[in-house]
Amino acid sequence: MTETKQKRVLSGIQPSGEIHLGNYLGAVKGWVDRQAEKENFFCIVDLHSLTVPQEPEALRHQTRSLAAILFAAGLDPAKSTVFIQSHVRAHAESCWLLNCVTPLGWLQRMTQYKDKAGKQESVLMGLLDYPVLMAGDILLYDANEVPVGEDQKQHVELARDIGQRFNSIYGDFFVIPQPVIPEVGARVMGLDDPTVKMSKSYSHIRGHAVRLLDDAKELERSIKRAVTDSGNEIRFSEEPERAGVNNLLGIYKAITGKSVADCEADFSDARGYGDLKKRIAEVVIEELSPIRERYHTLMANPDDLDELLARGAEQARTLAEPKVAEMRRLMGLVLPK
Ligand code: AQP
């Protein structure tokens, strides 16, 4: 088993649509804020995106665009290895090898599979296998920690189960990872329906998501349209009918890093929900505008972006390739001379 002095972190994000504030607050912001403390691997999981139908040109654009967003948001190549999953072949290979130790029943009970499969006319094999590919992503790097939003916790737990099963059959080989869920921003809800999580798959639906690349006017418009309730009380609440206001306050809390009491105090003089939305929009615009500007600079220099991604993939391969070769050996495959 690989010894690491510093904790190793791995997380991924799919280029399956327009990245939104939920992805940013539930995942990317935390990766950026904590990248100095750990050894980091962040992966744009393009193979995962293929588990639901994609338009090839759009997928290619979204993948490069997502890479630019990650760097623009502050991932620093000196502190974090950022790469595209399909550039490191060991990910697909480890998925096959892990398929051969994973019982089918474990995959059929995954909540995300049931949700997504229920919405498809024809379910692809890859959708069922999604968590095994994700287990490979994590286990290949002997990651100790996997920072994810609440929605991905079940998949990290499955990666632990798969790693433990492999270890019990072939010996102590994989580090068993821990999911790390942020205290705030773990679950940002849709602005049009605060009972469902904000999701890339719905980010094209008007009023659903706060899209990271929208300009200030559009950001303000989306937040002003957010569903609230018929009251006027601005406080955090678990009550389902107050989910809209709770979601807006949660966004404010995640961006400012303030306590519940301080957030509520900040709105004690607000004149109703209109005022609440106006101030939330200001905070969101202030957070996202510099990211958008850096993003456009990066996209205007495609060679620099490709160079950063090539370096990331090369660093990732130095860990992933020997690890998958050892998996093959342990499982009884003949290694080429
Ligand atoms: N609404 C959310 N609130 C907080 N965190 C979220 N994440 C996703 N949605 C929210 C976190 O973002 C990271 C990357 O997500 P992903 O690309 O792996 O896909 P996902 O979890 O399936 O996210 P989406 O936006 O709903 O995408 P689609 O529609 O493509 O499935 C993860 O850490 C996730 O927890």
For 297-333, the pLDDT digits (tens) are: 999 999 999 999 999 999 999 999 999 999 999 999 9
Q: What is the overall mean pLDDT for the chain?
A: 94
What is the CA(218)–ligand 1 centre distance, in A?
22
* Structure-token match 């920690």, residue found: 145
Domain that holds residue 288: 200-297
Q: What is the pLDDT of residue 296?
A: 97
Question: Are 172 and 280 in the same domain?
Answer: no
Residue 18 lies in a domain: yes
Taking CA atoms only, the protein residue closest to ligand 1 atom 5 is 26
- Distance between CA atoms of residues 191 and 7, nearest Å: 36
Phi, psi of 180 (to 5 degrees): -125, 115
Instruction: Please state the pTM of the whole predicted model.
Output: 0.93
Position 105 confidence tier, pLDDT thresholds 50, 70, 90: very high
Question: Are 264 and 318 in the same domain?
Answer: no
Which atom of ligand 1 is the closest one to the Cα of 112? 22
Whether 243 and 189 have beta carbons less than 8 Å apart is answered as yes
Instruction: Supply 19's token pair.
Output: 């990245």
Phi, psi of 206 (to 5 degrees): -55, 130
Question: Are 140 and 204 in the same domain?
Answer: no
Per-residue pLDDT reduced to its tens digit, 197-253 = 999 888 888 899 999 999 999 999 999 999 999 888 999 999 999 999 999 999 999
Question: Are 80 and 220 in the same domain?
Answer: no
* Structure letter (DSSP) for residue 183: S
Residue 71 lies in a domain: yes
Question: Are 155 and 72 in the same domain?
Answer: yes
Question: Are 36 and 67 in the same domain?
Answer: yes
Share of the chain above pLDDT 70, in %: 98
Coil/strand/helix, residue 41: strand
Buried b or exposed e, range 125-154, using 16+ CB within 10 angstroms = ebbbbbbbbbbbbbbbbbbbbbbbbebbbb
Report the half-sphere exposure of 210 (CA within 13 A, side-chain side).
Answer: 30
Given the residues 29, 38, 200, 253, the one annotated as active site: 200
Question: Are 18 and 122 in the same domain?
Answer: yes
Q: What is the pLDDT of residue 265?
A: 96
Question: Are 17 and 142 in the same domain?
Answer: yes
Answer positive or negative: Cα dihedral of 240, 197, 73, 217. negative
CATH of the domain at 225: 1.10.240.10
Phi, psi of 13 (to 5 degrees): -145, 140
Residues with CB under 6 A from ligand 1: 12-14, 16-17, 22-23, 26-27, 148-149, 151-152, 185-188, 197-201
Residue 235 lies in a domain: yes
Residue 183's region, left for phi above 0, alpha for psi from -120 to 50, else beta, is alpha
Total structural domains within the chain? 2
CATH of the domain at 56: 3.40.50.620
Whether 23 and 159 have beta carbons less than 8 Å apart is answered as no
| β-strands 39-44, 8-13 pairing | parallel
Q: What is the pLDDT of residue 5?
A: 64
Question: Is 200 one of the catalytic residues?
Answer: yes
Taking CA atoms only, the protein residue closest to ligand 1 atom 14 is 13
Question: Are 89 and 16 in the same domain?
Answer: yes
Mutate which of 9, 14, 40, 84 to test ligand 1's pocket (most atoms within 8 Å of Cβ)? 14
Q: What is the pLDDT of residue 1?
A: 53
Q: What is the pLDDT of residue 185?
A: 67
Which atom of ligand 1 is the closest one to the Cα of 19? 25
Question: Are 220 and 153 in the same domain?
Answer: no
Residue 192 lies in a domain: no
Question: Is 253 one of the catalytic residues?
Answer: no
Sheet of 145-147, strand order: 80-84, 39-44, 8-13, 145-147, 178-180
Other CB atoms within 10 A of residue 18 CB? 18
Which atom of ligand 1 is the closest one to the Cα of 116? 31
Given the residues 38, 119, 153, 197, the one annotated as active site: 197
Residue 335 lies in a domain: no
Question: Is 116 one of the catalytic residues?
Answer: yes
- Distance between CA atoms of residues 149 and 19, nearest Å: 14
How far CA 11 is from CA of 26, 143, 148, 209, in Å, comes to: 12, 9, 7, 22
Which atom of ligand 1 is the closest one to the Cα of 147? 33
Instruction: Supply 113's token pair.
Output: 């599979």
Residue 311 lies in a domain: yes
Residue 336 lies in a domain: no
Residue 191 lies in a domain: no
Question: Are 172 and 242 in the same domain?
Answer: no
Per-residue pLDDT reduced to its tens digit, 154-190 = 999 999 999 999 999 999 999 999 999 987 767 899 9
Question: Are 28 and 172 in the same domain?
Answer: yes
What mean pLDDT do residues 62-83 have?
A: 97
Mutate which of 138, 180, 199 to test ligand 1's pocket (most atoms within 8 Å of Cβ)? 199
Q: What is the pLDDT of residue 4?
A: 46
Whether 284 and 223 have beta carbons less than 8 Å apart is answered as yes
Instruction: Supply 291's token pair.
Output: 């990211």
Q: What is the pLDDT of residue 149?
A: 83
What is the CA(176)–ligand 1 centre distance, in A?
22
Q: What is the pLDDT of residue 17?
A: 86
Strand ranges, E, within the chain:
8-13, 39-44, 80-84, 145-147, 178-180
